[in-house]
Amino acid sequence: VQWPLSLVISRKALTKYQLIFRLLFHCNHVHRQLCAAWQVHQ
């Protein structure tokens, strides 16, 4: 983490945020896929 962000967010916290956002993006992708599949099979 570069300065000045390193004053607020540690590398460990940034890694956790990255993992959380990756999970959220994956969930969003799965949600869109399920919605599309649902519309096709209605």
Domain definitions of the chain by residue range: 5-40
Q: Please provide residue 31's backbone torsions phi and psi, each rounded to the nearest 5 degrees.
A: -60, -45
SS3 at position 13: helix
With 0.75 as the threshold, say if the pTM is over it: no
Q: pLDDT of 22-36, one tens digit each? A: 999 999 999 999 999
- Interval 16-26 mean pLDDT: 98
Residue 2 pLDDT = 75
Q: Residue 14 in contact with residue 1, Cβ under 8 Å? A: yes
Residue 40 pLDDT = 94
CA angle 19, 14, 5 (to 5 degrees): 155
Residue 28 pLDDT = 99
